[in-house]
Each structure stands twice: as structure tokens, then as C-alpha cells.
Amino acid sequence: MNVPLIMTPGPTQVRENVRLARAMKTTNPDLDVQFYDFYRDTCEKLGQLLKTKNQVRILCGEGILGLEAACASLTEPGDRVLVIENGIFGEGFADFVRIYGGQVVFFRGDRRRQIDVGELERFLDSYGGFKYATVVHCDTPSGVLNDVSRICPMLKSRGIMTVVDSVSAIGGEELKVDEWSVDIALGGSQKCLSAPPGLTFLSISQDAYSAMQRRRTPIASFYCNLLLWKDYYEQKWFPYTPPVSDIVAFRQAVDNVLEDRDILKRHKVIAEAVRQAVREAGLDLYIKEGFSNTVTAIEVPEGVDEKALRQYMLDRFNVMIAGSFGYLAGKVLRIGHMGENARVDCVSYTLFALQKSLERFGFKCRCDMAEVFMDLVHKPAV
């Protein structure tokens, strides 16, 4: 199989040392007590990344599992839950809340901008009684970044717990779980951490655990029941057999991120250069305010078939970028400059391939995007 240069907003490219770690000889994770130490130590490393002393768990399932597990474990029938949305994934939280009997109340923001915290505060002055709120840190389909450093402390001050989907942000954007009063922070293996897809990780505050333990009704799931994981280490018992090879590889990916002291700066420099190069080329960005440093969404020029363009890039240049879905289907192109994708050579070649492909479909760029990008990323800091 010919594997292209994967420049999508997840899954991302996987470094060789992660691939090799996944091929290591494995053990029986249920019976080998050494694996319990390995799993716990990996969770503690994730805690360093999340800047939290809260308990961290790794679950066997793609990032969506974490979103559902948080809602399953916190939601009881009749609970009022605030769903803060300015994008597809933000709105999607409502489905998980409803599955477990919660009453959804939306706060809807401008889908081209980050959530306006002042407007949210005014909304909460009129509406209250929420058990918890959900918010997406980076809504991947559009690339909008929400300021959870302001949103979560404000909600917490009003007695509202927070569930934050940071799947597309952790490792590429700053997240300070404890300082920002995040009760459940959710991540995935295949985005900025650049491990193979298949794992969710999350941090759980004591307030969140207490809410789960005070439930009047049982959690209506086994696989999504976070309470089952609470004392796994002391009991030397996992609720289900962990995917040992995936976790070994993930541990290496986490080490890669922790060892990269300039990882946030690298994401920021590359993202800003991509956005400027795109603008100078005469293309429009979908987001107007609140840009993520992990993914950029570019409006498809009039008269260009988005799917045909991406297929041409793949066939002619062996580069894979993404379209989007939902209300953005056919309207945007997305470049994932996150994790192992956030490398100057990978991004510059992607911009070259995109420009040549656009020209093939009749759009003339006003500049050489790759050249502008390279000048910007190598520009001396002032």
C-alpha cells in the first residue's frame, strides 16, 4: 500500500519510534502486575502534559469514547446540561447527553468565532441549574479555538462542572487542567500526540468523581462507566483487557511530546505562517476570530470541486488533506498542522501541492504559498 503524506487534522503521521514500540513483545496486561505500574506511570506522564494532579485514565477506544464516557458517567435522567457550541463537535455533545436522559440546553455561539465569554455570562445570569457544561477546546471541522482558560473557571464559580473536549488541542495548544478548573478533560491518541488511533485519555477531578458516586441511579453503561476505573491500581484489576501494544506505543508518543520543550511554540509559528500564506494567496479562511494552532480551514474557491481537488493532490503529489462534514461539507479544505504534521518540510510541501492543485482547477494564487510560509517560519524573532 502506498501511504501518502498524511496532513489531515487527525489521524496524523506517526513517528518511527512509536511504530517500533507498538511492535514490541507484549504481555498479559490483566495478569502481569508490572503492566499495572506501566499503565499508572503512563497516566502520570499524561498528567504532566495536562498540568493536573487529578486522576488520569486511558480507555480502549477512539476519542469519541471519552466524550460518551464523560456524559454517561455524569448524566442522570432529568439532569440539566449546558451544551456550549460554536461548531459541529460542540453541538454533537448533545447526542450523548440525551442518550443518558439529560435535558440539553444550548448556548450557541458564532460558528466563525470563539465563544464570547461575556455573552455566555449574560446567558447564565438568566438560565441556571446546570449540573455540568460541555465545551470543545478546538472544534476540528472548522478549526475554531475556544478560550477554556476563561470559560471553565467562570462556570466553576457558578457551581457548574465542566467537560472539555480537547482531543484536537492537547499537545498543540496549552491546557492547564487544574489552574483552569476543568473537571473532565478529554484527549485522543491520534491527533497532536501522533500515536495510532484507538485510545482515549481523560483526567477526572474529585468533584466529578463525587458527582458520579452521589448518583441516585446506576450508570447506564459498562464500557463507558468511569467509576469502574477508580481503584484499578489498588485492586490490580482492569474493567476490560487493555490493548497493551497500543498503550506501549502511546507511552512513547507521550514521551516524544514531553521531551519537545518548544512544541507549543512550533505549533504557533507554523499555524500563523500557514494562515498568512493562505491569505496572501487570495484564499479565505473560514474562521474570523479564534484560530487554532492545530488545524486551518480554508474556504473552497468558487467553482472548485473540493473532492476532486483533494483527489488530484493525492494522485499527483501523494498528499492527503481533509474536507469537512455537516454544514461545512464541500465548503472548506482542512490542513492538519498538528503533532508530527507540524514540521516545516511537511507543511511547505503541502502548500506547494495545494497551490499546484488549485491552479489545475483554475484558481490562480497571488503568491508562492510555500515560499511565503518558509520566509515567515524562518523570520528572526523581534
In the predicted structure, residue 230 carries a pLDDT above the cut 70: yes
The average pLDDT across 86-113 equals: 98
Tell me, what's the pLDDT at 379?
82
Q: What is the pLDDT of residue 284?
A: 98
What is the b/e burial string over 285-315, where b = at least 16 CB atoms within 10 angstroms of the residue's CB?
Answer: bbbeebbbbbbbbbebbeebebeebbebbbe
Residue 128 has pLDDT above 90, yes or no: no
pLDDT tens digits, one per residue of 292-342 = 999 999 999 999 999 999 999 999 999 999 999 999 999 999 999 999 999
Query: What span, in angstroms and rounded, lies between the C-alpha atoms of 235 and 321?
Result: 45
Position 2 scores a pLDDT of: 82
On the question of pLDDT at 382 being above 70, the answer is: no
Task: Write the pLDDT tens digit of every residue in 31-72.
Answer: 999 999 999 999 999 999 999 999 999 999 999 999 999 999
Say what the pTM is. 0.97
Q: Indicate if the pLDDT at residue 381 is higher than 70.
A: no
CA 241 to each of CA 28, 90, 247, 279, 380: distance values in angstroms, whole numbers, following the listed order = 9, 31, 12, 49, 50
Cβ atoms 138, 295 nearer than 8 A: yes
pLDDT score for 264: 98
Residue type, 342: A
* Domains of the chain from N-terminus onward: 5-9+261-377 (3.90.1150.10), 16-259 (3.40.640.10)
Is the per-residue pLDDT at 178 higher than 90? yes
Q: What are phi and psi of 287, to 5 degrees?
A: -80, 140
Would you state the cell numbers that stand for residue 206, as one nine-digit string?
A: 474529585
Q: For residue 148, give the nearest of 121, 187, 175 by alpha carbon.
A: 175
The pLDDT score that the predictor gives to residue 126 is 93
- The rounded percent of the chain whose pLDDT value lies above 90 is 98
Could you read off the pLDDT of 253-283 as tens digits, one per residue? Answer: 999 999 999 999 999 999 999 999 999 999 9
**pLDDT 10s digits, 1-31:** 788 999 999 999 999 999 999 999 999 999 9
Q: Is the pLDDT of residue 198 over 90?
A: yes
Distance CA 281, CA 266 (A): 23
